Amino acid sequence: MAAVGALSRIARLGSRICKNRVTLSGNSQRRGIAACIDPSHGLTDEQKEFQKVAFDFAANEMAPHMAEWDQKEIFPVETMRKAAQLGFGGIYVQPDVGGSGLSRLDTSIIFEALSTGCVSTTAYISIHNMCAWMIDSYGNKEQREKFCPDLCSMEKFASYCLTEPGSGSDAASLLTSAQRKGDHYVLNGSKAFISGGGDTDVYVVMCRTGGKGPKGISCLVVEKGTPGLSFGKKEKKVGWNSQPTRAVIFEDCAVPVANRLGEEGQGFNFAMKGLNGGRINIASCSLGAAHASVQLARDHLLVRKQFGETLSNNQFLQFKLAEMATKLVASRLLIREAAQALQEDRPDAVAICSMAKLFATDECFNICNQALQMHGGYGYLKDYAVQQFVRDIRVHQILEGEVFSLSLAFLFVFCHILVWLLWFHVRQL
């Protein structure tokens, strides 16, 4: 009985989304899929305004160029500077150094909207924002005033250097060394897969100033042009082609001690705190891609005819579209809750940010993939945008917390909770 009820609910949702007929409730106005997955539900008026600006910017300044930036591997400096003029260069950086001073939730909403225009560029903007935030939050007065205003206006661009050829998920085992010599640190080592590497001006680098493990890691800001700083070849990637990815190489690179954020040994702490926000940002980018893909799929189903009728009359596709819409909304809710938790510095913030990133990047990739499938052969052509969304967000399941390692983290926490519960029950007996 329950199964029949569930199926009929899905059918009703699917038909509401696709078909052209009066709904079973007799309502004379039909709500299309746009209303079901509308990302402005539950937002304040001010957040709706932020979202509107971001959507307009994405539709007018980014979407028309998204394919070209991907095919020609263009780093769209001018467009990103236009975005920075609107306040998107340092969204959660304090206003006294040029930032917009908004919350994590506002940030998530903005990146979600911008992503509908170009995932790759928005993802880079989010990385740039994270660097600006790190300097803003953990830098001293001189560092904040030196770096943040230019980063917020995107006069200068930033890159985040944590990953190395030998340390990805195991970030604390990084090897790039920074030896103190007077009032300089001399850096030796290399970083891998650095977004923006070679084209950006400011590098936020995690390096080893002390012994092994996380406590020996410090954070240094390295400027382009410093002798000893060089870059590897530009990587050829499946997606994220509007941002260059290169290795960043340090060979006896001398960096002033004044460029160290915080104290020696605090670097790993900053990195972990940065990753919480980074995970929400990346997940938000996946959301935007999934939202755009659902709309593209819907449009295609309404147009493409096979067997004498439009694909939108096909019940299986209706069910599939309804599932996609549901998973999109579920991902969105989890991400927004995580953003709120991080903003309020709740005890569950780390866990829920990881959960949100794990769930949303996986589900949104599946949504985009399904949307491509619904396009049939056309979905495979580069003339159609859906394939770019699929390619661009595939990497979101890998970076900023590789999904399998995130799952391991949960398993660890989950087992601890299980053991505690068992112990508690045994005590009760």
3-state secondary structure of 185: strand
Distance (Å, whole) CA 17 – CA 314? 12
Q: Per-residue x/- mask for other proteins, residues 202 to 231, rule CB under 8 A?
A: ------------------------------
Least distance in Å: CB of 28 to other proteins? Answer: 6
User: Residue 43 Cβ, how far from other proteins at the closest point, in Å?
Assistant: 11
Shortest distance (Å) from residue 86 CB to other proteins: 5
Which residue out of 142, 223, 400, 402 is catalytically annotated?
Answer: 400
Stretch that binds other proteins, among 41-49, 69-77, 278-286, 377-385 (CB under 8 A): 41-49
Nearer to other proteins, 39 or 267 (CB): 39
What whole-number distance in Å separates Cα of residue 297 and Cα of residue 314? 13
**253 DSSP β-pair partners:** 187
Can you tell me which of 25, 28, 306, 428 binds other proteins, judged by CB under 8 A?
A: 28
Q: Which is nearer to other proteins, 38 or 323 (CB)?
A: 38
Q: Which of 13, 14, 15, 50 is in the footprint of other proteins by CB under 8 A?
A: 50
Q: Out of 6, 7, 22, 413, which residue is the one contacting other proteins (CB under 8 A)?
A: 22
Q: Do 100 and 335 form a contact (C-beta atoms < 8 A)?
A: no
> Applying CB under 8 A, which of residues 32, 165, 166, 376 lies at the interface with other proteins?
32
Distance CA 11, CA 318 (A): 7
Q: How far is the CB of 63 from other proteins (least distance, A)?
A: 11
Give the SS3 label for residue 85. helix
Q: How far apart are CA 224 and CA 9, in angstroms?
A: 58
Q: Catalytic: 323?
A: no
Applying CB under 8 A, among 42, 64, 95, 213 the residue interacting with other proteins is: 95
The piece of 42-50, 116-124, 206-214, 353-361 that touches other proteins (CB under 8 A) is 42-50
CB of 104 to other proteins, least distance (A): 15
Would strands 202-208 and 158-161 be described as parallel, antiparallel, or unpaired?
parallel
| Residue 262: exposure state from Cβ atoms within 10 A (0-12, 13-18, ≥19) | middle
Does residue 287 contact residue 341 with C-beta atoms inside 8 Å?
no
Interacting residues with other proteins between 54 and 73 (CB under 8 A) = 56-57, 59
Is 96 a binding residue for other proteins by CB under 8 A? The answer is no
Distance (Å, rounded) from C-alpha 240 to C-alpha 228? 28
**Which SS3 state, helix, strand or coil, does residue 188 take?**
strand
Instruction: Tell me which H or E stretch contains 249.
Output: strand 245-256
Contact 163, 194 (CB under 8 A): yes
Name the helix (H) or strand (E) containing 178: strand 177-181
- For residue 250, give the nearest of 205, 211, 184 by alpha carbon: 205
31 touching other proteins, by CB under 8 A: yes
String of contacts with other proteins for each residue 290-309, x by CB under 8 A: --------------------
* DSSP letter string, 104-133: HHHHHHHHHHHHTT-HHHHHHHHHHHHHHH
Task: Pick the binder of other proteins from 7, 49, 404, 416 (CB under 8 A).
Answer: 49
Report the residue number, 102 or 217, with the smaller CB distance to other proteins. 102
Residue that the structure tokens 């002798």 belong to: 227
Choose which of 11, 12, 43, 48 interacts with other proteins (CB under 8 A).
48
| Token pair recorded at residue 237 | 């990637």
Distance from C-alpha of 250 to C-alpha of 199, rounded to nearest angstrom = 16
- Whichever of 102 and 390 has its CB closer to other proteins, that residue is 102
**Closest C-alpha to 281, from 38, 39, 112:** 112
Rounded to the nearest whole angstrom, what is the least distance from the CB of residue 409 to other proteins in the complex?
A: 34
How far, in Å, CA of 366 to CA of 359, rounded?
11
The smaller minimum CB distance to other proteins, of residues 133 and 193, is found at: 133
Instruction: Give, in degrees to the nearest 5, the angle at Cα 342 between 339 and 344.
Output: 110
Piece in contact with other proteins (CB under 8 A), picked from 38-46, 303-311, 353-361, 413-421: 38-46
Q: Which stretch binds other proteins (CB under 8 A): 31-39, 182-190, 253-261, 359-367?
A: 31-39
Residue with tokens 């096979």: 306
337 close to 356: Cβ distance less than 8 angstroms:
yes
Question: In whole angstroms, how close is the CB of 48 to other proteins at the nearest point?
Answer: 7
* 39 binds other proteins, rule: CB under 8 A: no
Nearer to other proteins, 85 or 179 (CB): 85
x/- map, 75-94, other proteins, by CB under 8 A: ----------xxxx--x---
**Applying CB under 8 A, which residues contact other proteins?**
22, 28-32, 34-35, 38, 45-46, 48-50, 52-53, 56-57, 59, 85-88, 91, 95, 100, 102
Task: Return the active site residues.
Answer: 400
